[in-house]
């Protein structure tokens, strides 16, 4: 049994979904459970609809809604040839549109888009796409059943960033899905969205469909969790920044977590957690090139898995420097700082001990006045905005002087604000000016993964480290 998750670009139009059907067909012998994201840009369009309605811009809200459903109806007409299935699916979508129109009316009257209402709006993206994929499978002679996450993906009521109740989810999945799979049926369900115990739709954070797939996979003890996207797997850098980025063949769970944590978009950071607990491998494949071997993420890596893995980056970073107002133990001071960040639910991306305190990198959008006010109660605070953080990832990279020298040599012309070594020894994190982000990534990549190295760069550098 396997879980196959398909992202928004893999379901963006009729040809893409037809391709997904063929991929699923090729894996029927493995008893797949299919998880899908909303079609590309659908989630953003639903958010716009809600914001337009809250601003009493009813015309823009309805125009965007029309565009959204026009895309879905076009997919249906190009994809679903069976007349009755086509008609029935259109009726299902018409009913969903009426539900969204009712929500628009309510938001327009109240002039408020609450997190709870936004989650309800968000949910329609996955509900629409999963309906289409399930019927598309049926149209190609594959037994398929559409499964609503409201039947199993129970969460708390922290709307927009809900936490799943894993024990309940496992119990519901085993009672609702296992018999279908064992009878040769392909269940198709949604990523990203959940349901509270009181029946309210929730979401588990943007781009969390991977996490949904991993939760389902772990609950059912599947053999493999497959993430199908629009690239050949994890690459040595963002291909939009470095067009000649290379595929990374293998990653450990810890490496994959750090890579996603520091900005790589191929996997959601939480995806690894359920897989680690059950030791289930994750494969990342390209739905546009299904013959590609992709990237394997697993607990056990071969000895030749190499030193260097990938470069990730995040922009719009704020560097916060904080020093104590009076003499205080270093660890106690750090504990006070951590408590403030925890209170506000803000992630510390990187930190270093300075001579008289700490320097901390955090996302600019999370660096609120409320956070800074609470930090001012702890110590003397100064902030530097418009920074970026670049993370170079690899096995024991912090213990490899040769690699570190190459990294710093490649960006010696840039203004380095902070250097932080990851606690796991898998990453080195460098804070630079935000405007230097893309060029710095290219320079580091050229030095570490450029043409001067052969394809076995990982093994070569590993051998250099051992000498």
What is the CATH number for 215? 3.40.1160.10
Are residues 329 and 439 located together in one domain of the fold?
A: yes
Whether 276 maps to a domain, the answer reads: no
Q: Considering its fold, how many domains does the chain have in total?
A: 2
d(CA 341, CA 353): 17
What is the CATH number for 356? 3.30.2130.10
Whether 114 maps to a domain, the answer reads: yes
Are residues 316 and 221 located together in one domain of the fold?
A: no
Whether 404 maps to a domain, the answer reads: yes
Are residues 340 and 223 located together in one domain of the fold?
A: no
pTM of the model: 0.88
Whether 452 maps to a domain, the answer reads: yes
- pLDDT, residue 452, reads 43
Are residues 95 and 192 located together in one domain of the fold?
A: yes
Are residues 180 and 42 located together in one domain of the fold?
A: yes
- pLDDT, residue 265, reads 73
Whether 264 maps to a domain, the answer reads: no
Domain boundary among 230, 251, 267: 230
The alpha carbon of residue 59 and the mean position of all alpha carbons in its chain are separated, in whole angstroms, by 32
Domain boundary among 230, 251, 281: 230
Whether 319 maps to a domain, the answer reads: yes
Are residues 325 and 211 located together in one domain of the fold?
A: no
- pLDDT, residue 306, reads 59
- pLDDT, residue 208, reads 92
- pLDDT, residue 301, reads 64
Whether 282 maps to a domain, the answer reads: no
Are residues 224 and 318 located together in one domain of the fold?
A: no
Are residues 226 and 317 located together in one domain of the fold?
A: no
Whether 291 maps to a domain, the answer reads: no
Domain boundary among 230, 245, 270: 230
Are residues 129 and 24 located together in one domain of the fold?
A: yes
Domain that holds residue 155: 2-230
d(CA 76, CA 439): 43
**Tens of pLDDT, residues 418-444:** 999 876 677 899 999 999 999 999 999
**CB contact at 8 A, 347 and 363:** yes
Mean pLDDT by 10 residues, the chain (467 residues): 97 97 98 98 97 94 97 98 97 98 95 96 98 98 98 97 97 95 97 98 93 98 96 92 92 86 79 93 96 90 66 94 87 92 90 87 90 93 95 83 91 94 81 96 93 45 47
Are residues 315 and 225 located together in one domain of the fold?
A: no
């Amino acid at each position: 049994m396997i879980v196959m998750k398909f992202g928004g670009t893999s379901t963006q139009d009729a040809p893409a979904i037809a391709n997904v059907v063929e991929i699923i067909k090729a894996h029927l012998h493995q008893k797949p459970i299919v998880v899908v994201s909303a079609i590309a840009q659908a989630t953003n369009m639903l958010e716009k609809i809600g914001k337009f309605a809250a601003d009493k811009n009813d015309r823009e809200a309805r125009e965007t809604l029309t565009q959204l459903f026009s895309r879905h109806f076009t997919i249906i007409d190009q994809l679903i040839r069976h007349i009755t299935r086509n008609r029935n699916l259109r009726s299902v979508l018409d009913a969903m549109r009426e539900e969204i129109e009712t929500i628009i009316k309510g938001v327009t009257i109240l002039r408020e888009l609450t997190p709870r209402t936004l989650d309800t709006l968000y949910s329609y993206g996955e509900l629409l796409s999963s309906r289409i994929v399930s019927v598309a499978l049926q149209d190609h002679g594959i037994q398929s059943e559409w499964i609503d996450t409201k039947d199993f993906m129970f969460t708390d009521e922290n709307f927009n960033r809900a936490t799943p109740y894993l024990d309940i989810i496992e119990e519901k999945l085993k009672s609702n899905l296992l018999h279908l799979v064992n009878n040769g049926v392909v269940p198709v369900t949604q990523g990203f969205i959940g349901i509270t115990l009181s029946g309210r739709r929730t979401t588990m954070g943007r781009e969390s469909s991977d996490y949904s797939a991993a939760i389902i996979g772990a609950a059912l003890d599947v053999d493999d969790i497959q993430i199908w996207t629009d690239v050949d797997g994890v690459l040595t850098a963002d291909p939009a920044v470095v067009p000649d980025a290379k595929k990374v063949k293998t990653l450990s769970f810890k490496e994959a977590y750090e890579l996603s944590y520091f900005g790589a978009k191929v996997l959601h950071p939480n995806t690894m957690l359920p897989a680690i607990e059950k030791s289930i491998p994750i494969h990342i494949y390209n739905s546009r090139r299904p013959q590609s071997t992709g990237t394997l993420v697993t607990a056990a890596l071969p000895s030749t898995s190499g030193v260097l893995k990938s470069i990730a980056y995040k922009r719009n970073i704020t560097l916060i420097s904080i020093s104590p107002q009076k003499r205080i133990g270093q660890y106690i001071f750090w504990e006070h700082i951590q408590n403030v960040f925890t209170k506000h639910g803000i992630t510390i991306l990187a930190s270093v001990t300075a001579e008289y305190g700490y320097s901390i990198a955090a996302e600019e959008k999370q660096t609120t006045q409320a956070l800074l006010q609470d930090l001012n109660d702890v110590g003397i605070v100064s902030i530097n905005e418009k920074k970026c953080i670049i993370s170079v990832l690899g096995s024991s990279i912090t213990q490899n002087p040769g690699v570190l020298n190459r990294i710093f040599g490649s960006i010696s012309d840039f203004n380095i604000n902070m250097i932080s070594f990851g606690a796991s020894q898998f990453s080195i994190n460098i804070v630079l000016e935000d405007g230097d982000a893309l060029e710095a990534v290219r320079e580091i990549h050229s030095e570490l993964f450029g043409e001067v190295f052969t394809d076995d760069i990982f093994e070569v550098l590993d051998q250099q480290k051992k000498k």
